[in-house]
Amino acid sequence: MSTSNHEKGTGHVDNHTVRESDSVEESDPVIEDVQAVVLVGGQGTRLRPLTLSAPKPMLPTAGLPFLTHLLSRIRAAGIRDVVLSTSYKAEVFSEYYGDGSKLGLNLRYVTEDEPLGTGGGIRNVLDDLTAGTIVVFNGDVLGGTDVRDVIETHREAGADVTIHLVRVSDPRAFGCVPTDDDGRVTAFLEKTQDPPTDQINAGTYVFTREIIETIPFGVPVSVEREVFPRLLAEGKHVHAHVDHAYWRDMGTPEDFVRGSADLVRGIAPSPALGDRHGESLVHEGAGVAPGALLIGGTVVGRGAEVGPRARLDGAVVFDGAVIEAGAVVERSIIGFGARIGPRALIRDTVVGDGADIGARCELLRGARVWPGIQIPDNGVRFSTDV
């Protein structure tokens, strides 16, 4: 491969620094009497080993911590007061965002000593909230829905709680949520091979304050498995806001890679990125050699190096990683400071921080390399040629 996207500059976003403050638009309208809670306390086990060093919402996606994309969407909806419900690696959030002013937000933190689950986490922050309407977000969802529309649905319906439901092409991988003709939720169903609806829980909820007060305090509770089914059983008005906007739960490596690529290419909207989209995104201080090919929404982090003739397709390369000459990286995440040796093939794989993959190694189909592990040249192969 003698030419590259990078060299030709065909539509990729080059050498810009994505700054937190870019997302602040003073003209954004403000919604009164609404505050937001973002649940970010999970351990992110499905994204290990990356989540051993950073909580899932802080992993870089399209060059920013994932949470920055969500916070910028919350700000764009006119919400200014946000509480982060933290537990696992809580200090990472406050060290990075501080009081939130760089994002134009008033950001506060409430930390659970023991994880309280999604419902317990919501109840635990109630004393820090004053608004009558509280919008709760799962901290790992990449979404395109205008949050104002969900709040409006809630207010028009006069509901106790409104759940954002998204229609997906294959609902079998999710629990599904049927509704009646008036838009009320009728049930929460477990995963099944034969789902009666294509509507699934998108992980954004609008609560009236009184409903949060009914969640038991200080004990682990799941909002999806316990709170919502109980509210239905009690005859509370649980409403649905249904759409088929962009939506992706970033909880697995496959989804993380796809979501990051969708942000880079502009398929997934993010007010934090504006309209800087292309086939790849190379951060300031990264080096890309002539003849390297970056496609498929690849992102190359700060200080990372990509060698000549390397081919990166849908790759997420964290800061300081090195991809040597002729290596191929497809739909994979390369952790901070990791090295991929010359002519290695990395496909559908997660390489942990600081790992060192020798020349001509092949890592495929869901392989996960733990941080700091060294695999010698030719150390893992799927083919028998020498």
Query: How far is the C-alpha of 84 from the C-alpha of 239, rounded, in Å?
Result: 25
Least distance (Å) from ligand GTP to the CB of residue 42?
Answer: 2
- Which 8-state DSSP code applies to residue 20? G
Query: How far is the C-alpha of 346 from the C-alpha of 348, rounded, in Å?
Result: 7
Angle at 240 between CA 234 and CA 244, to 5 degrees: 155
Coil, helix or strand at residue 146? coil
Question: How does 200-210 read in b/e, with b if 16+ C-beta sit within 10 Å?
Answer: bbbbbbbbbee
Residue with nearest beta carbon to ligand GTP = 42
Least distance (Å) from ligand GTP to the CB of residue 276?
Answer: 26
Q: Which is nearer to ligand GTP, 139 or 352 (CB)?
A: 139
Least distance (Å) from ligand GTP to the CB of residue 55?
Answer: 7
Q: Which is nearer to ligand GTP, 93 or 336 (CB)?
A: 93
Least distance (Å) from ligand GTP to the CB of residue 140?
Answer: 4
Give yes or no for a contact between 309 and 325, defined as CB atoms under 8 angstroms apart: yes
Q: Residue numbers of the site for ligand GTP (CB under 6 A)?
A: 39-46, 56, 85, 87, 112, 115-118, 121, 138-140, 251
Name the nearest CA neighbour of 165 among 206, 194, 131, 134: 206
Residue 57: Cβ within 10 Å count? 30
Least distance (Å) from ligand GTP to the CB of residue 246?
Answer: 18
Q: Which is nearer to ligand GTP, 119 or 326 (CB)?
A: 119
Q: Which is nearer to ligand GTP, 110 or 261 (CB)?
A: 110
Q: Which is nearer to ligand GTP, 13 or 250 (CB)?
A: 250
